[in-house]
A and B are shown apart, each in its own frame.
Chain A
């Protein structure tokens, strides 16, 4: 068994997700990602069950593993109890661990997620915060959100939220002690380590690509990974 496959087997989601595939295609049949990207969960499982290190490394460096939306529809369907959606979570974890994610366009996007959702969890205690859903980055949120965004305190108060205040309720301010606990959990369980790896590998890649990357969200590299599709990801096969 090769080193990468062995590492994948350390992830219980991988162990739970990979049984024996007979290439029936029930997963691809209802996979939303397969409808819009050049992606077949069936092929993913088929490659993994070869245990072929070269192919697995190529997979970890490819766009392929980043197309899945983790809806887990495939899990309901597989007649052999494989779980392609779980395998994806294990592959993405390893791709970031090894720094392979920066080798693909879709993989590089992880930095933008880390610097938004990742930071918001630590700052606000939740994955999202309305003050950060800017109409500029989210034009599809429409004119109602645009209005709400510019009147957040008034709208939230009208709808019974406890916006940015102490005590229970919608969008309350999370106590500092609770935020400190999150940070400690992140330090203890590998999230901080993953964040650092995403940063380090991305910075190296940005330099390699000749793009400017500072610590914020308004820079060439972040804008590029947030917005660009330099190839047709639905093409092929």
Chain B
């Protein structure tokens, strides 16, 4: 593999990312499954002295409903317009989404409006009629991973740890997984384009790790909206993730890094389900391959407590990875509540290790 070839492509796809004053909108999936990730994003942005504003009245963009086709496009456009209106009312112009599905939908809608201005007009009318609100389109639209990518060097400077094996001194091997809706429809809207996105690679390189490219890197995790939401369709969803694990396993990755809401949850949970269905585990000796979000990884680099980041709600244990880097953690505190009281413990799976 010639890395210069990728660098040439990366140079072609450098998008503009605003430097401060962000209007932040949350993700349906991530709030449920990675509450610590969104919290961590706001924490390091504050430490970096950046202003990130959240209006409690913002809501879903309806992306999951839209992509499972119960929500019409007109509705999605108007819901997105309402978010823009909240941004406008708060005096912001830089819009940041926590969710990739949202980011893709916002991008698609802005593109639609530029090609079909009458759609924008109609949306404005719908919004006005339904809510009385008006909006200005954002000057800059970014995903939270874009923003984290932008400040990756600042995170290094404040960081305590690097993605290096403390015993061998070798970089940790990371496979990255990009959400499908990050740049597939609009390659120029993603850092690094659609084929070799650089947004996560840039973080891993900066923080000392080594990115492993593997044949099924571009394959979807298998969420497929209705393909997971309905139990009868989940065979598709799990098969897609399995295909990725089978393809990456010979490279012995130390971890999987993701920028999408659903992907880390599926890549985490499906390792458990595959083990319980087929007795197969990936990674060393039943440990699985730890999966994390870029915020969780940034948090580790910055030396935040792993249990503040939310690793206790991952099914695939991250302790082996923490040990490799040399990040201290207190196993006794893993499942305690905020006051240090016990809340019981999850049951141990049959095959996948449990700490």
Contacts and interface: CB of A to CB of B under 8 A. Distances in A.
A and B bound? Answer: yes
Interface of A: 11-13, 16, 30, 32-33, 35-37, 66, 68-73, 75-76, 83, 89, 92-93, 96, 106, 109-110, 112-114, 116-118, 121, 125-130, 133, 137, 140-148, 150-151, 154-161, 166-172, 174-175, 177-179, 181-182, 184-191, 194-195, 198, 225-229
B231 A226 contact: yes
24 contacts: A12-B73, A30-B218, A36-B236, A37-B236, A66-B226, A71-B180, A76-B195, A89-B67, A113-B226, A118-B71, A125-B60, A128-B32, A140-B269, A146-B347, A147-B344, A148-B313, A154-B337, A157-B337, A160-B308, A161-B39, A170-B39, A190-B74, A225-B230, A225-B232
Contacts of A182: 59, 79
Contact of A181 (B72, B130, B336): B130
Contacts of B247: none
Contacts of A147: 335, 343-347
B322 interface: no
Interface in B210-267: 218-220, 222-227, 229-236, 238-240, 243
Interface string B185-213: 10100000011000000000000000000
Contact of A198 (B70, B74, B307): B70
A126 B59 contact: yes
Contact of B68 (A113, A161, A185, A186): A113
Interface of B: 26, 28-29, 31-32, 35-36, 38-39, 54-60, 62-65, 67-75, 77-79, 82, 104, 112, 115-116, 119, 126-127, 129-131, 180-181, 184-185, 187, 194-195, 218-220, 222-227, 229-236, 238-240, 243, 269-270, 272-273, 307-308, 310, 312-315, 335-338, 343-349, 354
A76 B346 CA distance: 42
Most buried by A among B226, B239, B307, B343: B226
Contacts of B345: 147
A118 B70 contact: yes
Consensus secondary structure, chain A interface: helix
B224 A32 contact: yes
Nearest to A166: B56
Contacts of B62: 121, 127, 191
Contact of B35 (A89, A114, A170, A229): A170
A76 B187 contact: yes
A69 B236 contact: yes
B60 A126 contact: yes
Given A110-B69, A142-B269, A227 B226 contact: no
B224 A226 contact: no
Given A159-B36, A189-B74, A226-B231, 13 more contacts: A35-B243, A69-B223, A75-B184, A96-B69, A113-B229, A127-B63, A127-B64, A128-B64, A156-B35, A174-B56, A184-B131, A189-B126, A195-B70
B31 A143 contact: no
Given A113-B68, A143-B348, A188 B130 contact: yes
